[in-house]
Amino acid sequence: MYSGPKHRTYAKQHEKHNDKSLPEHPGLPGRIPRRRELTHNHPADHPCSCRPARSTHPRLPCPAYPQLHVCPHLNHPAPSLSNKHSFFDMDLIRDTTSPYPQMLPTASHFASCVAALGITKDDVLVIYDAVDVGIYSSPRVAWMFRFFGHEAVHVLNNFRVYVSQGYPVASGEMRPLPSVSKYPVSPLDSDRVISFEELRELVLAREEEVQIVDSRIAGRFSGEEDEAVAGLSSGHMPRAVNVPLAAMLEDESRTFLPVEKLKEVFERAGVDGRAPLVLTCNSGVTAAALDLALGETGFRNPRRIYDGSWMEWARRVDRPELIVKDVH
């Protein structure tokens, strides 16, 4: 599945969900158990159905996904399994009534959109961003699926590596998949999100047991750089620490760093391995990359994403002390 603000996320599906591990590929690290959320294995390595998903973002360029995507005719050991592709459009699969971008949709809206993409609850999904993006929106799309009860979902690390190592790709427009009659509406996992109101109360109460981790770029976090949205204050929430998305990725390939290097990034930033974490960013997208990377590196403390993130916080706070700038 292909995702990202006009980014691509690719999902592969196993028609029958079981507990076997994903097969090892000799060209990439390790054997990744299916329970892991980040996979270095390639879609071609085991029977699955491929579903690209597209998400859009107002400030990012629109990569030409139709020009390059996972080949829909991979050779699988189980020839009865078909490869299926879908675009996950984050501009559509969101709360379209909210003034803030990328807010979670209702469970029923998510279910109806996913059914229209031809995705079933038994599908095993692998999400990827476009080759020119690396990693950006795919963790958010995967996180959304898990939030709505679809646990068999992974993020490909990443499509750029897949292409560079010579795996099959295709070009041209993808024909839409037939929709399915129904995708089940699941109860929301409220333990994975935090609202503005609750976070504001925690900050005002100076709740020391909770730590806020922000993945925005360093200049906007510190207040040194202006936000891209005119009139929106830069800065950060009180006592937040900064782990920008770029700090978690390799410079050239834009893959996630190896686990040991990710641990070093979090340790240098002062991320607490015991405290409950609130993860935030600009609009709730790259906070999901934080969630994924923390899980992969062994952080077991509770983690919640602040869905509105800075786009909501900076507009709604009613006290000057709720926005901190490290420059004067």
Q: Which residues carry out catalysis?
A: 281
Q: For residue 133, give both structure tokens.
A: 């993006």
223 neighbors 235 (Cβ within 8 angstroms): yes
Q: State how far the alpha carbon of 268 is from the alpha carbons of 210, 247, 262, in Å.
A: 18, 11, 10
How many beta carbons lie within 10 A of that of residue 291, not counting itself?
A: 25
Which residues neighbour 101 within 8 Å (Cβ) at sequence distance 6 or greater? 58, 94, 283, 311
Question: Distance between CA atoms of 33 and 237, rounded to whole angstroms?
Answer: 37
Task: Tell me the chain's radius of gyration from C-alpha atoms.
Answer: 19
User: Do residues 257 and 250 lie in contact, with contact meaning Cβ atoms separated by under 8 Å?
Assistant: yes
- One-letter identity of residue 120: T
Say if residues 146 and 153 touch (Cβ distance below 8 Å).
Answer: yes
Residue 49 bridge partners (DSSP): 13
β-pairing verdict for 211-214 and 277-280: parallel
Any idea what the Cα angle at residue 310 is, between residues 306 and 315, rounded to 5°? 115
Q: Residue 54's closest CA among 87, 86, 85, 84?
A: 87
User: What is the rounded CA–CA span in Å between residue 112 and residue 153?
Assistant: 18
On whether the CB atoms of residues 107 and 188 are closer than 8 A, the answer is yes
